[in-house]
C-alpha cells in the first residue's frame, strides 16, 4: 500500500468534491472549497515568514473550523505542526516552544512571544507562494508526551510515516468517508485519525464537545447528522452511555490508547450490536496505530483482554525476550515495532532516541525498530494480546504518563523530601496518587502540593490524592517497593448538619461513584471520581433540579464547595422539596 502525501491528497480531494462538507461545528459548515481557501490564505502568510519543509510551526487554538484550517495551513507550506493546548501551564508551553524551536506560533491572542501570529494577522492578504516538494523524511508534526526526566519530550513524526498510517486508515475505516467526530485535543495523537482521516477520504469532520453534550451544557447534533466514525479511549466508554444516538457512530467505533477488556465493551455492544468495533494499538513513536483487532457485529468477545490483533501493512512486529531473541507463541515478551510508520525519534534527544529506536537485527536494510516497553504474547491464532508494561509508565484516561515527570515537579516543592506517584483504580475510576515524605518542618498541605503541581503540569498529570508517609518503602536491593505503599485513605462522611441541597447532592455523588455514602467535605476525585463520573453526577443532578456545571465539579471537588461556588444551582431545593 503506497503512503499518502497529506498535502497532495487533500488538494486532490478538494478539487474533486469542492462543495462537499469538510468541517462542521454547530451551525457552521465549511466546504472543501472554503477550507482550502481559508487554509491557503494562512499558508501564504506562514510561507512569507519562512515556514516550509524542515521547519516547525506551533498552533494553539480552540477546537473549531479555524483550528483545522490553521493546522492544514501548516501542512500546505510543507512545514510540521506542533499542537499546544490552553490546558498546559505557561511554563510547560514555553518549554515546548523553546524545545522544538518553533519559528512561529499561531494563536487566538497576541502574546509576548515574538513569534506569535494571531489568526487575523495570519489571514491577511499575502502573495501566493510556490510550495516546495514535501519529502518523506520532512517533519509532519511533533507531539509531546510525558518524560521521565521531568520535562515532556517531543516525538517527531515524518510525512512518510504519517502518509503510511493515513493510507492504512483510509483502507480500513470506511466510516472516515462519512461523518467523523473530532472531540479529543489535537495535542493527543489519537486525534490524528479523526483530523486527517476524513480529509483524505472525502468525509466531513464534525467538531463536538462530547462532555458538554453529555452534561446538558450544549445541545446534541441533529439526528440527521449522526456520525459514521468515532475514535475514543476505553475510559470514554462510560461517557458514550450518557450521549444521545446522534453523537454515536453507525459504522465504526475505534478504541485505542489503553488496554481494552471485553467486559468494558459489553454495554456498548449490547446497545449498538450493528456497529463494528476496532481495538487499535500503537505508541506515538509508531504514528498513532500500527496494529488492530476487529470485532464485527455478532462476534463473540471474552470478558478479559481484547487482543490488539495483527500488524498493519508495512509494519513488522517482534515479540522478544530480554536478550532480544524471539519468544515462542504464548510466551510473554517485549513488543518491538519496525516498518514504515516509525517516527524519526525524540526531538533533540539523541541518546534517548538511540536507546529506544534500536537496529532491526531481523532486517537486512539497516532499518530500526522501536522498543515499546509493552509486554505482549502471541496467541495460537496469531493475534497479539497486551499484558502490561515492562517499566513504570502509566496510562490514565488514554494519556501516557511518566511518573518521574510528576515526581520531579513535586520534589521541587520546599516541603517535599521525596515522593512516588502511582495510578490506582480501574477504567474510568483510575487516578493518580502521590506519596510524599515531608522535609524538615511541617508537612505541606495537599492543596498546596496540588497548586504547585498544577503550576507545571497539565491537568491530567496533577495527582488527586496526596498521602504523607515518613519514608518510602524500599526493596532489599534499594529500589522503591511500590507494592508496600499504603492504600490511599477512603473519603469518609462527617457529622456536620447538612441542608436539603447538600443531602441530595451527597446522595447523587455517592450514586455516581458507586459507593454507599459520601460526605459533603469528601473530595470527589480522591474518592475515585473522574471526568466521566462527573458527567454522570452533573446529568443526575440536573434531573433532580440542581443545575451544576461540569467545570465546577472538577474544580471544587466537594459537595460543600460546589454548592458554595454555584449558590443558585438549586433554588427550588433550598426552599423545599426537589422540583
Instruction: Give residue limits of the domains in the chain.
Output: 6-375, 402-484, 500-575
Q: What is the mean pLDDT of residues 159-183?
A: 97
CATH architecture for the domain at 500-575: Orthogonal Bundle (1.10)
Identity of the highest mean pLDDT range in 13-17, 322-326, 419-423? 13-17
Poorest-pLDDT segment among 201-210, 258-267, 422-431, 560-569: 422-431
Residue 579, pLDDT > 70, answer: no
> First and final CA of the chain: distance in angstroms?
60
Class of the domain covering 402-484: alpha beta
Residue 496, pLDDT > 70, answer: no
Q: What is the mean pLDDT of residues 44-52?
A: 94
Residue 343, pLDDT > 80, answer: yes
Q: Around 197, how many Cα atoms within 13 Å sit in the side-chain half-sphere?
A: 30
Neighbours of 115 (CB within 10 A): 16
Q: Which three cell numbers stand for residue 235?
A: 475510559
Residue 519: per-residue pLDDT = 86
- Three-state DSSP class for residue 347: coil
DSSP 467: E
Give the confidence band of 362 by pLDDT, cuts at 50, 70, 90: very high
Residue 254, pLDDT > 70, answer: yes
Give the confidence band of 576 by pLDDT, cuts at 50, 70, 90: very low
Mean pLDDT, the chain, as a whole number? 89
The pTM assigned to this predicted structure is 0.82
Between 235 and 34, name the one with better pLDDT: 34
pLDDT tens digit sequence for 85-123: 988 888 889 999 999 999 999 999 887 677 899 999 998
Residue 200: per-residue pLDDT = 98
Give the confidence band of 498 by pLDDT, cuts at 50, 70, 90: low
The Cα–Cα gap between 455 and 90 comes to 8
pLDDT tens digit sequence for 199-251: 999 999 999 999 999 988 899 999 999 999 999 988 888 889 899 999 999 99
The Cα–Cα gap between 548 and 557 comes to 12
Residue 577, pLDDT > 60, answer: no
The Cα–Cα gap between 106 and 86 comes to 13
CB pairs under 8 A, 24+ apart, for 436-445?
436/410, 436/466, 436/467, 436/468, 436/469, 437/468, 437/469, 437/470, 437/471, 437/472, 438/468, 439/414, 439/415, 441/415, 442/415, 443/415, 443/468, 444/413, 444/414, 444/415, 444/416
Residue 247: per-residue pLDDT = 96
Strand 21-25 and strand 204-207: the pairing is: parallel
Residue 495: per-residue pLDDT = 42
Hey, do 6-375 and 402-484 end up sharing a CATH topology, with the first three levels equal?
no
Q: What is the mean pLDDT of residues 427-431?
A: 68
Name beta bridge partners: 435.
420, 467
Residue 443, pLDDT > 50, answer: yes
DSSP 2: P
- 400-425 in b/e form (b: 16+ CB < 10 A) is bbbbbbbbbbbeebebbebbbbbeee
Residue 14, pLDDT > 50, answer: yes
Give the confidence band of 479 by pLDDT, cuts at 50, 70, 90: low
Tell whether domain 6-375 is in CATH 3.40.50.12780: yes
Amino acid at each position: 500500500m503506497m503512503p499518502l502525501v497529506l498535502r497532495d491528497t487533500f488538494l486532490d480531494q478538494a478539487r474533486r468534491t469542492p462543495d462537499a462538507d469538510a468541517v462542521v461545528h454547530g451551525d457552521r459548515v465549511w466546504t472543501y472549497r472554503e477550507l482550502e481557501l481559508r487554509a491557503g490564505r494562512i499558508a501564504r502568510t506562514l510561507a512569507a515568514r519562512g515556514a516550509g519543509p524542515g521547519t516547525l510551526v506551533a498552533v494553539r487554538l480552540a477546537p473549531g473550523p479555524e483550528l483545522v484550517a490553521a493546522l492544514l495551513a501548516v501542512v500546505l507550506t510543507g512545514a510540521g505542526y506542533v499542537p499546544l493546548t490552553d490546558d498546559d501551564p505557561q511554563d510547560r508551553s514555553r518549554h515546548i516552544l523553546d524545545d522544538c524551536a518553533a519559528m512561529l506560533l499561531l494563536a487566538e491572542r497576541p502574546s509576548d512571544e515574538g513569534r506569535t501570529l494571531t489568526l487575523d494577522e495570519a489571514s491577511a492578504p499575502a502573495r501566493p507562494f510556490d510550495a516546495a516538494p514535501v519529502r518523506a523524511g520532512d517533519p509532519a508534526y511533533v507531539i509531546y508526551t510525558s518524560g521521565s526526566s521531568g520535562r515532556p519530550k517531543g516525538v517527531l513524526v515524518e510525512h512518510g510515516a504519517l502518509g503510511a498510517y493515513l493510507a492504512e486508515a483510509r483502507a480500513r475505516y470506511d466510516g472516515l468517508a462519512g461523518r467523523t467526530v473530532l472531540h479529543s485535543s489535537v495535542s493527543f495523537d489519537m486525534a490524528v485519525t479523526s483530523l486527517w482521516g476524513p480529509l483524505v477520504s472525502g468525509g466531513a469532520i464534525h467538531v463536538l464537545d462530547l462532555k458538554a453534550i453529555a452534561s446538558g451544557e450544549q445541545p446534541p447534533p441533529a439526528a440527521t447528522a449522526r456520525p459514521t466514525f468515532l475514535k475514543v479511549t476505553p475510559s470514554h466508554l462510560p461517557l458514550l452511555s450518557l450521549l444521545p444516538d446522534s453523537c454515536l457512530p453507525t459504522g465504526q467505533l475505534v478504541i485505542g490508547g489503553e488496554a481494552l477488556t471485553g467486559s468494558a465493551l459489553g454495554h456498548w455492544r449490547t446497545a449498538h450490536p450493528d456497529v463494528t468495533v476496532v481495538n487499535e494499538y500503537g505508541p506515538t513513536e509508531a504514528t498513532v496505530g500500527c496494529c488492530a483487532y476487529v470485532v464485527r457485529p455478532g462476534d463473540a468477545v471474552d470478558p478479559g483482554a481484547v487482543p490488539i490483533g495483527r500488524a498493519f501493512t508495512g509494519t513488522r512486529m517482534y515479540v522478544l525476550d530480554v536478550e532480544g531473541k524471539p519468544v515462542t507463541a504464548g510466551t510473554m515478551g517485549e513488543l518491538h515495532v519496525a516498518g514504515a510508520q516509525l517516527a524519526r525519534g525524540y526531538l533533540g534527544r539523541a541518546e534517548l532516541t538511540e536507546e529506544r529506536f534500536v537496529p532491526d537485527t531481523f532486517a537486512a536494510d539497516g532499518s530500526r525498530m522501536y522498543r515499546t516497553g509493552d509486554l505482549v504474547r502471541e496467541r495460537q491464532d496469531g493475534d497479539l494480546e497486551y499484558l502490561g508494561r515492562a517499566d513504570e509508565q502509566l496510562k490514565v484516561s488514554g494519556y501516557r504518563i511518566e511518573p518521574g515527570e510528576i515526581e520531579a515537579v513535586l520534589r521541587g516543592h520546599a516541603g517535599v523530601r521525596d515522593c512516588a506517584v502511582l495510578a490506582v483504580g480501574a477504567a474510568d475510576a483510575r487516578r493518580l496518587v502521590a506519596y510524599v515524605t515531608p522535609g524538615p518542618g511541617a508537612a505541606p498541605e495537599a492543596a498546596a502540593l496540588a497548586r504547585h503541581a498544577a503550576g507545571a503540569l497539565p491537568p491530567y498529570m496533577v495527582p488527586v490524592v496526596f498521602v504523607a508517609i515518613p519514608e518510602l518503602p524500599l526493596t532489599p536491593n534499594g529500589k522503591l517497593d511500590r507494592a508496600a505503599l499504603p492504600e490511599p485513605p477512603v473519603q469518609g462522611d462527617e457529622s456536620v448538619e447538612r441542608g436539603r441541597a447538600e443531602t441530595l447532592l451527597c446522595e447523587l455523588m455517592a450514586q455516581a461513584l458507586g459507593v454507599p455514602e459520601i460526605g459533603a467535605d469528601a473530595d470527589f476525585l480522591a474518592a475515585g471520581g473522574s471526568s466521566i463520573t462527573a458527567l454522570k453526577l452533573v446529568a443526575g443532578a440536573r434531573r433532580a433540579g440542581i443545575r451544576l456545571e461540569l467545570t465546577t465539579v472538577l474544580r471544587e471537588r466537594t459537595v460543600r464547595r460546589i454548592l458554595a461556588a454555584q449558590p443558585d444551582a438549586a433554588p427550588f431545593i433550598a426552599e423545599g422539596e426537589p422540583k
